[in-house]
């Protein structure tokens, strides 16, 4: 149902209420104690079945964690890894340079080290390319390593894995990226997206860190049954759920089902973490409050990612697996500096890319392809994401260095980038690539850019996309300014963690006035919203300065009222708690 009085917002979006069903609201209130009418309405709007409300709000590892052997290759992988463990052999680990890769590598390393197994971990630098390479396979072999486990990579490393196989290495792939029709010549591949796995398997949308955690659960059970822990203390695997939550949130996978369970449980461990690397990172970011998914995704995660983007790729792993407090603080400080550098580089590239994007929008292209000479490869993914969010089109950002081109892409709902990249590789347009439906990376030659553009134009034009639906802001329910209370926030927090697939509840404040506006140095706009009866609510809109919405907030007309759409959070700045409204969009009230 369209929100009355909002034909088009200042961000040129339609607003629509999520579907409601009073009968289902009543059923939830009758079946479950401690659920308010407001929370019941939001649950129904999110299409949470009445029977699933308890598992949605209070999932438990005991009831909701899947059997690892639901993945067909898991038993073979576990048996081979356990052979090396029982022999006390060193095990090699190869990971990716993003947060999911760092957390995945750290989880496996920390688990193996805790039971007395030495590990050698390799994280490639971004300029070396994504995933395993032959040179590092040779290095591992020279060190006497016979078993290598790749995490968050390996699905498309055909050449490197085959070379490792010929060297006599056993290589196990633990991944979650889209597979090609054929698998690499590994000992086995554990991936919930493999074509022989059931499409409705509960692990299908896991991040790599989730797949790794699932694997160590299976390894632990195997070792226990074989009597391994009669000589070695059995570790408590739950201590690494903080890292699972970290990687799952940062990889922007849907926070539903098993992912929701892992993040919701993992956040409890994260807020009381014994991981000194996370502790140091938290101190560096000055995070004193409870950490939720938002803080992971927008404050802590970018700092871990900074090493792989503009610095040394292994810094994230080194921090998250560190056992030395002084070392952890040094690394956290390095990542803080790198993150500041990343922001500066990103701003420069984004300015240039936006000019190209504006031209493509004027030409009404169904996607954006922006490119620049020697754009820093570490920020092209972020830039693609920024442009995708702004223009609601799938975006491909390319960095050209001589004849070589590396790119990153971000998508909108309904366009599967992972499949597009695989298809372009099969046609010989791209040299390497891989990813998920919503994000992918790839490489190609400069003389293939036009071919890639035409390929995208042909493919994306065939998608039956509901452009209007994609450009609709879905609102859970209307709200009065006076209703934005801490009690309401307590209800909302029961629905955490929020993220991809489970966004924060969105409310519309109708007919409010704007007062006391402040523009921050980084373009955020802070203001007060006045509702009925003279009640006020603190509000903020990020990166709004200089936009049509920002102009309205900074120069509100005294006789005008506005409809505001956004989310609620608790601001605890300077130890003073207050509810704050995060403005996502606004419209002039008629």
Mean pLDDT computed over 92-107: 96
The model's pLDDT over 461-476, given as tens digits with 9 standing for 90+, comes to 877 655 555 678 899 9
Determine the 3-state secondary structure of 556 from DSSP: coil
Number of domains in the chain: 3
Place of tokens 């993992």: 266
CA 119 from chain centre, in angstroms, equals: 27
Confirm whether 37 is domain-assigned. Answer: no
395 plus 542 within the same structural domain: no
Structure tokens at 506: 């969105």
Confirm whether 269 is domain-assigned. Answer: yes
How far, in Å, CA of 418 to CA of 184, rounded? 17
Average pLDDT, the chain: 92
Mean pLDDT computed over 13-33: 92
Query: 150 pLDDT exceeds 70?
Result: yes
201 plus 227 within the same structural domain: yes
Confirm whether 358 is domain-assigned. Answer: no
User: How does residue 448 score in pLDDT terms, banded at 50, 70 and 90?
Assistant: very high
Mean pLDDT computed over 471-497: 92
Backbone Cα Rg of the chain: 25
Structure tokens at 313: 């790729």
User: How does residue 412 score in pLDDT terms, banded at 50, 70 and 90?
Assistant: confident
Query: 63 pLDDT exceeds 90?
Result: yes
Mean pLDDT computed over 542-556: 87
Indicate the pTM of the whole model: 0.87
328 plus 460 within the same structural domain: no
Residue 541 CB burial class (10 angstroms; 0-12, 13-18, ≥19): buried
Q: Which of 466, 497, 532 is a domain's end point?
A: 466
183 plus 306 within the same structural domain: yes
510 plus 581 within the same structural domain: yes
If one counts every other C-beta atom within 10 angstroms of the C-beta of residue 249, the result is 34
How far CA 328 is from CA of 323, 548, 575, in Å, comes to 8, 44, 27
Determine the 3-state secondary structure of 96 from DSSP: coil
The verdict on whether omega for the bond into residue 497 sits within 30 degrees of 0, i.e. cis, is yes
How far, in Å, CA of 72 to CA of 215, rounded? 12
Query: 560 pLDDT exceeds 80?
Result: yes
How far, in Å, CA of 333 to CA of 449, rounded? 39
3-state helix/strand/coil string of 187-202: CEEECCCCCCCCCCCC
Q: How many CA atoms lie within 13 A of 393 on its CB side?
A: 23
Confirm whether 551 is domain-assigned. Answer: yes
Q: Which of 435, 466, 497 is a domain's end point?
A: 466
445 plus 482 within the same structural domain: no
The more confidently predicted of residues 228 and 546 is 228
pLDDT at 453: 96
497 plus 461 within the same structural domain: no
Confirm whether 412 is domain-assigned. Answer: yes
Confirm whether 36 is domain-assigned. Answer: no
What CATH number has the domain bearing residue 193? 3.90.1640.30
Mean pLDDT computed over 502-525: 92
186 plus 72 within the same structural domain: yes
Query: 7 pLDDT exceeds 90?
Result: no
Q: Which of 475, 531, 534, 483 is CA-nearest to residue 508?
A: 475
Task: Name residues whose C-beta falls within 8 Å of residue 571's C-beta, 6 or more positions apart in sequence.
Answer: 538, 577, 578, 579, 580
What CATH number has the domain bearing residue 578? 2.40.50.460
Confirm whether 501 is domain-assigned. Answer: yes
Which of 36-45, 100-109, 127-136 bottoms out in mean pLDDT, i.e. has the lowest? 127-136
136 plus 114 within the same structural domain: yes
Confirm whether 45 is domain-assigned. Answer: no
How far, in Å, CA of 264 to CA of 55, rounded? 11
How far, in Å, CA of 573 to CA of 586, rounded? 25
494 plus 407 within the same structural domain: no
The model's pLDDT over 319-361, given as tens digits with 9 standing for 90+, comes to 999 999 999 999 999 999 999 999 999 999 999 999 999 999 9
Instruction: Give the residue numbers spanning the domain of 513.
Output: 14-18+476-588
Q: Which of 418, 442, 466 is a domain's end point?
A: 466
393 plus 274 within the same structural domain: no
457 plus 493 within the same structural domain: no
User: How does residue 389 score in pLDDT terms, banded at 50, 70 and 90?
Assistant: confident
- Which letter does DSSP use for residue 123 in this model? -
How far, in Å, CA of 501 to CA of 47, rounded? 12
Which of 133-147, 157-171, 223-237, 571-585 bottoms out in mean pLDDT, i.e. has the lowest? 571-585
pLDDT at 252: 87
3-state helix/strand/coil string of 400-416: EECCEEEEEEECCCCCC
What CATH number has the domain bearing residue 371? 3.10.310.30
3-state helix/strand/coil string of 477-530: EEECHHHCCHHHHHHHHCCCCCECCECCCCEEEEEEEEEEEEECCCCCEEEEEE
How far, in Å, CA of 559 to CA of 572, rounded? 33
Q: Supply φ then ψ for residue 520, to 5 degrees.
A: -80, 170
């Amino acid at each position: 149902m369209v929100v009355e009085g909002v034909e088009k917002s200042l961000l040129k979006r339609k607003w629509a209420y999520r579907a409601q069903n009073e009968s289902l609201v009543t059923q939830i209130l009758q079946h479950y104690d401690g659920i308010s009418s407001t929370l019941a309405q939001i649950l129904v709007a999110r299409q949470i079945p009445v029977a699933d409300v308890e598992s949605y709000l209070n999932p438990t590892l005991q009831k909701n964690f899947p059997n690892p052997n639901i993945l067909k290759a898991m038993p073979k992988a576990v048996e081979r890894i356990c052979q090396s463990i029982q022999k006390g052999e060193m095990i090699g680990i190869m990971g990716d340079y993003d947060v999911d890769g760092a957390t995945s590598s750290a989880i496996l390393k920390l688990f193996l080290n805790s039971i007395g197994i030495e590990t050698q971990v390799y994280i490639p630098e971004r300029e070396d390319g994504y995933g395993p390479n032959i040179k590092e396979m040779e290095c591992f072999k020279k060190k006497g390593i016979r078993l290598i486990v790749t995490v968050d990579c390996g699905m498309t490393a055909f050449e490197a894995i085959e070379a490792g196989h010929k060297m006599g290495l056993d290589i196990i792939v633990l991944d979650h990226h889209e597979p090609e029709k054929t698998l690499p010549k590994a000992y086995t591949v554990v991936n919930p997206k493999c074509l022989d796995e059931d499409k409705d398997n509960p692990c299908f949308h896991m991040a790599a860190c989730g797949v790794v955690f699932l694997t160590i659960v299976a390894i632990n059970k195997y070792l226990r049954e074989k009597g391994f822990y009669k000589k070695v203390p059995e570790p408590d695997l739950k201590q690494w759920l903080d890292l699972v939550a970290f990687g799952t949130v940062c990889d922007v996978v849907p926070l539903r089902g098993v992912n929701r369970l892992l993040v919701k449980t993992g956040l409890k461990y994260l807020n009381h973490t014994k991981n000194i690397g996370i502790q140091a990172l938290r101190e560096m970011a000055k995070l004193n409050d409870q950490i939720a998914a938002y803080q992971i995704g927008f404050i802590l995660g970018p700092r871990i990612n900074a090493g792989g983007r503009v610095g040394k790729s292994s810094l994230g792993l080194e921090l998250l697996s560190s056992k030395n407090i002084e070392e952890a603080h040094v690394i956290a400080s390095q990542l803080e500096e790198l993150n500041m550098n990343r922001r500066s580089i990103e701003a420069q590239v984004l300015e240039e890319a936006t000019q190209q994007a504006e031209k493509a929008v004027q030409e009404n292209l169904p996607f954006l392809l922006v490119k620049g000479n020697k754009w820093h490869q570490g920020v092209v993914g972020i830039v693609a994401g920024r442009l995708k969010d702004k223009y609601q089109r799938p975006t491909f950002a390319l960095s050209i260095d001589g004849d070589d081109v590396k790119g990153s892409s971000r998508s909108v709902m309904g366009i599967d980038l992972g499949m597009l990249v695989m298809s372009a590789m099969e046609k010989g347009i791209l040299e390497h690539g891989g990813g998920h439906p919503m994000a992918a990376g790839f490489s190609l030659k400069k003389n293939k850019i036009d071919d890639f553009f035409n390929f995208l134009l042909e493919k994306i034009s065939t998608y039956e996309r509901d452009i209007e639906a994609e450009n609709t802001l879905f609102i859970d329910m209307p709200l009065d300014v006076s209703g934005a209370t801490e009690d309401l926030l307590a209800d909302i927090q029961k629905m955490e963690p929020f993220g991809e697939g489970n966004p924060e509840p969105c409310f519309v404040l109708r007919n409010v006035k704007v007062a006391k506006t402040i523009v921050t140095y980084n373009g955020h706009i802070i203001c007060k919203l006045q509702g009925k009866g003279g009640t006020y609510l603190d509000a903020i809109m990020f990166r709004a300065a200089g936009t049509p919405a920002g102009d309205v907030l900074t120069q509100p007309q005294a006789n005008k009222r506005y409809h505001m759409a956004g989310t609620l959070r608790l601001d605890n700045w300077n130890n003073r708690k207050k509810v704050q409204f995060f403005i996502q969009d606004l419209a002039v009230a008629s």
